[in-house]
Each structure stands twice: as structure tokens, then as C-alpha cells.
Structure 1
Amino acid sequence: MLQRLVRIDVMVRMLVLAILLATFLPVTGQRLEAAYAVSNVAVFLLFFLNGIRLSRGDVARGIRHVRLLVPLALWCFGAMAAAGYGLSLLAAGLVPPLIALGLLYLGALPSTVQSATAYTSIAGGNVASSVVSAALLNILGVFVSAPIFAWLSGGAYADVNLDSLIRLFLIVLLPFGLGQMSQLRMLPWLHSHPSLIGWMDRTAISIAVYVAFSGAVEQGIWTRLDLVSWAWLLALLCLLLVVAYGGAWLLSGVLSLQRGERISFMYSGAHKSVGMGAPLALVMFPPTVAGIILVPLLVYHLLQLVVSAPIASRFNRAA
């Protein structure tokens, strides 16, 4: 399994393909509005499926595990958001303003469920804790990521007003709630079509990235970011990786968690979700802004996969 994860996985390949398509065949003008509507439908479907998959029993058990969940939520939405804010200030003058704002957006996002769980399993961590805590962080992220970003950014490009809250409800919260209510009827069908559901997830995320990045290409992202800016962005993201992994591991030790839960805490606390970040960006920002703000998240997503494999292998050997 480790060898498969070290290779470029399907989701990463689809994200790269979406970026290449947006670079050479971007959707622009009036077609961008139509693509934006298609993306909203895909995002609605994505959160509907997430609502079906997350068992209410698992949610209840995860909520009861406050000794893990509360510090993890504070780390994810408190410490990591503060780290993103600090890096965005540090990046001022080194990278374009929207890229610096993207560092703050990255810090305010929840964990990713799939990769955090997979690497927790490889490292010999507590998989059940990883699945439930990462999933609950995603639910919490729907409510808190946008307000945290709006507050720390001073409302730049994302004023969380009544209109934006209504859009968040209709495109993100409503389908998740409908999915929760449809569990008994839909869950057997979902379990009988695992590969189809996986492809639907990846396709919805890829569409969101394609639409957002098309807007970024229209705004001239490849001319805005020169080699020096890319070098600074990579350096800042590597610094964030050190803070994310090192800080989460140290905090889990301070909390005296068992080894398996410490591993779960580290991966859930360090990973950031492009599955939440890309759709949420299209809800919060205009497409022309969303694509540029997503650049730090897309690069971080690739880096976290590269870093996670050798760390998991080292934990596995130590066990």
C-alpha cells in the first residue's frame, strides 16, 4: 500500500490535468458563468454524498471523544489559521497579494479525510479516530472556515454577509443535511458502488479546480508568478509543513495521547483538504479570484502527500 501511495495517485493526477486544461483550454467570458453553475451542481452532489457516508453513530462517538477532538479542532482552526495568517504577513512583498491571501485561506481549512486516514493506517495509528476526527473537522469547517478567513483577512474578497451565508447553506450545508437524512435509503447503494462514488468525488473536486483555475488564467496567473515568487511560495509552504507536522506531534505528546492517537492527531492536524477548499473557494470568491487564492492549497496538497509517505514508513518501521 505504501508503494502505491508514494506513486502519484489518481486524485493528484486529476488535479494536475484540471490545471493543465485550465492553462491551455480555459473557460472564459460568458462560458465561465455556465461552468460556474455546473461546478455548483457538482459541489452540491459532493456534499450530499459526504452526508450519506458519515454515519450518525460515528459522529456521536467522535463528539464524545472530546480529549482528542477538542484539541484537534483548536489546533486545526486556531493554531493553523494563525500560522497561515502569519505566513500571509511574511509573504507580503514576496508573492502577489492574492497568493499571500491564499496562505491565510489554506490555514483556515479543515483536514482531509482520505489521505490523513490512509497514512494513519500505514503508520500504525488509530484509523477509527482518524476517520471520525477528520470527518468531523470537515463538518466543522463548513461553519467556521469562512468566518475565520473573513475575520483574519479583514473581509478581503470574502465578506461573509447574508448572501454568502445563503449560498453556503444552499450549496454546502443543505446537501449534507439531505445526505444525512437519506442514509438509510441510500447507504446500501453507496456501499455497492464504491468505485463509482470515488470517481464522482474526484470529478466534482476536479471541476471546481478547473473552473477556479480558469478564472486565475484569465487574470494572468502565469505572468503574475515569476520563478522568484514560486521559490518564496515553496519556502513558505515548507515552513508551514514543519509547523503543521511538528506542532501537531508535540501537542499530542503534551496531551499524553496514546501512540496510535498521536499519529492520528498529527496527520489530521497537518493535512489540508482540497476537497473542501476548492468547492468552498468557488462559493466564497468570484472565479477570477478563487483560482489564484487556491494556488497555495494545491501546492501544499501535493507537498503533504510527498512528506507523509516517508514519515508513515518511519513510524511503521519503529512500531
Structure 2
Amino acid sequence: MRLKIDYFVTGILLVILLAYLFPHVITGGTVELLNTVSSIGISLIFFFYGLKLSPDKLKSGLGNFKLHLLIQGATFLLFPVLVLFFRPLITTEEQETLWLAFFFLAALPSTVSSSVVMVSLAKGNIPAAIFNASISGIIGVLVTPLWMGFFWDNSEINFNLKEIYINLLLQVLVPVFVGMSLQRFFGAIVQQNSSKLATFDKAVILLIIYKSYVKSFNEDLFGNISWMDLALLLVGAGILFVVVYYLLQFISKFLGFSMEDRITAQFCGTKKSLVHGTVFSKILFGSMAIQGIILLPLMVFHIMQMIVISAIANTYDRRN
């Protein structure tokens, strides 16, 4: 099987390279301008996301509560608990920062579009995938900051849960619900232009990643992280994915799920959203230099999940 070039992944690598080569480009008024543009872009992403959500499709996926509980439990409980097991192994301040970045990854909601696309390709339960991928982002607005709040007292991050929830409400939930209220009027137009909107989403994400890494390279945060710790990060991301994937397979079989439901559980329950991750990191960490490091495990995991799940989906697609 030939793997296609993922231009978005290439774009991520390029903006990180640009940030590394020219860390002093963004200063003064440029920072404010980019902050404003990215904030507007975030709200538009979730407004268009709301426009694409069909209430009828969401309702059709409501039936299998065991499947929904398994997927959301894996997303918001299993992932964080697995990462918590490694906290006692932390010995340095740099490792503490990387662990916090890993825990941020673990606390994030699932992806939306890619989960549904992969489940569809693998001939899984599409209505359930749509429901779980959609509801995951809404649950994440509440749960992700709550999880992260348990460990902010041990970091230098200024944590204000009330302010965080207000920002997430205004930049994420309000645009989603406004979009959903207008779905019957403009939903068809949005579906017809879904590829253009996907390009817009990716452009906003690349902008946030670029800003984050410019700040991190400016303050030389990566200079304090050893190559061994970075290698452990790569290995850790792979182990985390494999453990969750096969645990979900085991639990799905134990619960007597059909093949379609097992595919949906494994594909939706193992995904983590780069869109929500970049947005949440901007709101939770503001313009802090640590944001670039916080996003590092998420980007590694994103690349890995896309490659592995795509390959698995193709094998399922060939079954009778």
C-alpha cells in the first residue's frame, strides 16, 4: 500500500522549521495582529463546524449507549489515567513540562471529521461516529480544563478556571450553537464547500502552531530538553496509542459489540483532536512560551494516528 503525502503534516513541519530559522520575526504589533486573526479564525472554525452538524444525523446515532460510554470513557478517562501512571517517574523540571504536555494530549477530545471519514472507509457505524465525534468536542470544553487544573498548582502557569471557561464558551461553544441554529439555512452551502473550509481550518491551526513555536524558540525552551527525553516522547506516543487501541478492542469484544461498533469504538476512542488542542492551548496557556512544548506530543500523536488508522481502515475496507 502506498502512503500518500499529507500536505497538512508537511505544513506543520514547515511552519516549525520557519519558526526555528526566524524566531525573531514576530515582534510588537505583529504579535497583536496575529493574536486577533487567530482568535477570529478560531471562532469561524467552530461556527462552520456548527453549520455542518445535522441534528437528524446526531439523533440517528443516539441509540447505543454502551458504545457512547466506552468511546467517551476512553477519551476522557482512560487516556489521562494511563498518562498519570508515569508521573512518579518524573525527576527533572524539563520532564515535568513534557509530562504536562502529554497529559494535555490525554485530556483532549476526539477528532471530528477524520474520525467519521475513517469509520466510513472501514465500514463501521457511521451515525454513532458522527454523534461521538461531535459530542466529544462539547464535553472537552468542560472536562479538559478541569483535568489540567489538577496539575497547575505545580507549574508556573497562571490558572484561572472561570476565565478559561468564559473564553472557551465565547470562542468555541457560542459559535457552534449559532452555526447549528443556522444549519437548516446554510448547511447545504457549507457541505458543498467543505474542502475549502477544511483548508481554512488548517491555515488557522498552522498560524497558531507557528506563533507558539516562534515564542518557544525565542526563549530557547527546547535547549533545556535532552534528545533522550524527546526520544521517550516519540516512543511514549506510540505506546499510548497501541495500548488504548487494543484495550478498546478487548472491551468491545467483551461487551459483545458487532464488528461495525468495534471499528467505531477503536477509531473514535483512540483519536485526539489537533484542532481542539491548538485552540485549547491558546486559551489555556495564552501567549506563554511553553505553548510550543505543550503542542509537541499532540502533533506527534496526530501524525501517528492519521498514518496508523488510515492503514487499518484500508484493511477493513477490503473485507467482505
Aligned residues: 316
- For residues 101 and 64 of structure 2, what CA distance do their matches in structure 1 show? 32
> Do the aligned partners of residues 158 and 297 (structure 1) sit closer, same or farther apart at CA in structure 2, a change above 3 Å counting?
farther
CA contact (8 A) 2:57 2:127 kept: no
Deviation of 1:55 after TM superposition, in Å, equals 1.3
Is 1:203 the counterpart of 2:203? The answer is: yes
Report 1:219-258 matches (<5 A): 219-258=219-258
Deviation of 1:147 after TM superposition, in Å, equals 1.1
CA contact (8 A) 2:58 2:131 kept: yes
> Do the aligned partners of residues 289 and 222 (structure 1) sit closer, same or farther apart at CA in structure 2, a change above 3 Å counting?
closer
- For residues 85 and 219 of structure 2, what CA distance do their matches in structure 1 show? 26
SS of aligned partner of 2:196: helix
> Do the aligned partners of residues 295 and 167 (structure 1) sit closer, same or farther apart at CA in structure 2, a change above 3 Å counting?
same
> Do the aligned partners of residues 62 and 84 (structure 1) sit closer, same or farther apart at CA in structure 2, a change above 3 Å counting?
farther
Is 1:85 the counterpart of 2:84? The answer is: yes
Deviation of 1:275 after TM superposition, in Å, equals 1.0
> Do the aligned partners of residues 18 and 161 (structure 1) sit closer, same or farther apart at CA in structure 2, a change above 3 Å counting?
same
One-letter identity of the residue aligned with 1:191: Q
1:191-244 Cα deviation digits (max 9, x unpaired): 232222121111122122122222222231442333212211112112111212
CA contact (8 A) 1:249 1:262 kept: yes
CA-atom RMSD in angstroms: 2.3
Deviation of 1:285 after TM superposition, in Å, equals 0.5
- For residues 123 and 117 of structure 2, what CA distance do their matches in structure 1 show? 10
Indicate the larger mover: 298-307 or 33-42: 33-42
Deviation of 1:276 after TM superposition, in Å, equals 0.8
In structure 1, the partner of 2:310 is: 309
1:49-87 Cα deviation digits (max 9, x unpaired): 111111122233334432211221111101112123334
One-letter identity of the residue aligned with 2:291: A
Question: Pick from 1, 20, 26: which aligns with 1:23?
Answer: 20
Deviation of 1:190 after TM superposition, in Å, equals 1.0
CA contact (8 A) 1:77 1:109 kept: yes
Q: Which runs of 5+ in 1 are unaligned?
A: none
- For residues 251 and 152 of structure 1, what CA distance do their matches in structure 2 show? 30
- For residues 154 and 166 of structure 2, what CA distance do their matches in structure 1 show? 17
> Do the aligned partners of residues 94 and 242 (structure 1) sit closer, same or farther apart at CA in structure 2, a change above 3 Å counting?
farther
Deviation of 1:114 after TM superposition, in Å, equals 2.6
- For residues 91 and 315 of structure 2, what CA distance do their matches in structure 1 show? 36
One-letter identity of the residue aligned with 2:247: G
CA contact (8 A) 2:244 2:270 kept: yes
Is 1:14 the counterpart of 2:14? The answer is: no
In structure 1, the partner of 2:300 is: 299
CA contact (8 A) 2:74 2:270 kept: no
In structure 2, the partner of 1:185 is: 185
In structure 1, the partner of 2:52 is: 53
In structure 2, the partner of 1:276 is: 276
Deviation of 1:94 after TM superposition, in Å, equals 9.3
Deviation of 1:273 after TM superposition, in Å, equals 0.7
In structure 1, the partner of 2:168 is: 168
> Do the aligned partners of residues 68 and 154 (structure 1) sit closer, same or farther apart at CA in structure 2, a change above 3 Å counting?
farther
In structure 1, the partner of 2:129 is: 130
In structure 2, the partner of 1:267 is: 267
Deviation of 1:32 after TM superposition, in Å, equals 2.6
1:245-292 Cα deviation digits (max 9, x unpaired): 111211222221110110111011111110110111101113312211
Q: TM-score, normalised by structure 2?
A: 0.90
